[in-house]
Structure formats: C-alpha cells, structure tokens
C-alpha cells in the first residue's frame, strides 16, 4: 500500500523538484549580480554592511549549489535515497548561516572599536532596494515547495533568502541614515540588526528540525 501511495505521489513530487530547480537557478543568477555589486561597492565605500550583504549573496550562491545537488540526488535515486543528502544539505545550510552571523558580529565589533564607518553608496542602495522584492518572491515560493517536499534543507535555503531580504531592508535604512546624519556607528549597528534571526535559523537547519510534513 505504501509503495502504491509513493507511485501516485511521484509525478507531483518530481514536478515540485523541477520547480525548485528553476528557483535555485534564478537564485544563482541574481546572487551573482548582487554579490559583485555589493562587495565591490562595500570595498570602495568601506562599508561593513554592504560587504556583509555581498558575502551573504556568496553564501546564498553556495546554498543554492548545495540545494541543486540535493534535488538532483533525489531525481536520480528517489526520495528514500535522498535522506542522507537532505541531512548533509540541511547542515551545510546551517553552517553557512552560522558563518554569516559570525562575520557580521566580528566585523561590527571591529568597526565600533576602531570607530570606522562606511560611506554612502548609490550602487549599494540600488541593489539593496531591488533585492527586497526579488528575495521576497523567491523565499515565498521556496517555503511553499519546502513545505510540500518536507525538506528542511530547502527551508534553510529559503531562510537565507529571507535573511537576504531583511539584510537589504536594514542596509537601505543604514545607508539612508548614513547619508542624512553621517554618523560613523550607523553602519556597524544596523549590521547587527539581523544576527538574531540568522542564528535562530542556523540552529534549526543544523539540528535538522522538521518544518513540515510530506505532501
């Protein structure tokens, strides 16, 4: 009976996996652009927040690569053979989120200690503003597919998209505040605004906590 149920569900699951593939490749394309613009602008402006935003994009690229591997494994070997890959992918996503949180905290502490603040960046503001709707759309679709697939690894990847969206909002606020008030500490303080969220999702991904049941 269980075998029959899996046979019935298989076509729908394969369709979901193919949708997930498309989302991950869209993520790769956008993140490559975002990383180049944000890191380049961050280095030029001396902005921790912009550089952290660009590094988050690099982490999302790595996460998308892990997800593409995990999804391809299931397509090739079936759901029952993908569970080890799922656990590895989920932990990899958690580790990447922990790395991002650590970078933000250390970088912010250094900036506050050195009293170093970043300069305003027009390219950085533009890419951050565009990232908000892009990340919202990607994250919303990833979470829905993660729920239906019962995949914590895909949920971790979706959380990284949400983190990127929140980081972009914090970045826009920080850049505008920096432009208006020219306060050296704004860049470092605003970069800390998202750490709690990143750490929470990193812990869940690392432990492999189940976000939802199979459809």
Residues 35-68: tens digit of each pLDDT:
999 999 888 887 777 887 888 788 788 878 888 8
Question: What's residue 1's pLDDT?
Answer: 36
Question: What's residue 4's pLDDT?
Answer: 41
Question: What's residue 126's pLDDT?
Answer: 92
Tell whether pTM > 0.85.
no
**pLDDT tens per residue, range 93-121:** 788 778 878 877 887 787 788 776 667 78
The rounded distance, in Å, linking the Cα atoms of 157 and 144 is: 12
Residue 202 reports pLDDT greater than 90: no
Residue 210 reports pLDDT greater than 50: no
Average pLDDT over residues 169-178: 80
Mean pLDDT value across the chain: 78
Residue 7 reports pLDDT greater than 70: no
12-207 has CATH 1.20.1510.10 classification: yes
The domain spans of the chain are 12-207
More confident residue, 79 or 176: 176
**pLDDT tens per residue, range 132-168:** 999 999 999 999 998 888 887 788 788 878 878 887 8
């Amino acid at each position: 009976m269980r075998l029959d149920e899996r046979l019935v569900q298989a076509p729908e699951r394969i369709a979901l996996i193919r949708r997930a593939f498309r989302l991950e490749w869209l993520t790769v394309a956008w993140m490559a652009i975002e990383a180049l613009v944000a890191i380049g602008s961050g280095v030029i402006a001396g902005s921790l927040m912009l550089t952290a935003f660009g590094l988050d994009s690099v982490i999302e690229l790595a996460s998308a690569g892990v997800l593409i591997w995990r999804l391809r494994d299931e397509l090739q070997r079936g759901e029952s053979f993908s569970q080890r890959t799922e656990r590895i992918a989920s932990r990899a996503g958690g580790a990447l989120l922990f790395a991002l949180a650590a970078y933000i905290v250390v970088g912010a502490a250094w900036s506050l200690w050195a009293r170093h603040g970043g300069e305003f960046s027009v390219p950085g503001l533009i890419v951050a503003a565009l990232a908000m709707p892009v990340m919202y759309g990607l994250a919303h679709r990833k979470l829905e597919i993660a729920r239906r697939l019962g995949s914590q690894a895909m949920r971790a990847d979706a959380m990284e998209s949400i983190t990127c969206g929140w980081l972009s909002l914090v970045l826009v606020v920080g850049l505008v505040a920096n432009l208006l008030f020219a306060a050296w500490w704004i860049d470092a303080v605003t970069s800390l605004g998202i750490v709690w969220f990143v750490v929470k999702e990193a812990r869940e991904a690392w432990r492999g906590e189940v976000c939802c049941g199979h459809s």
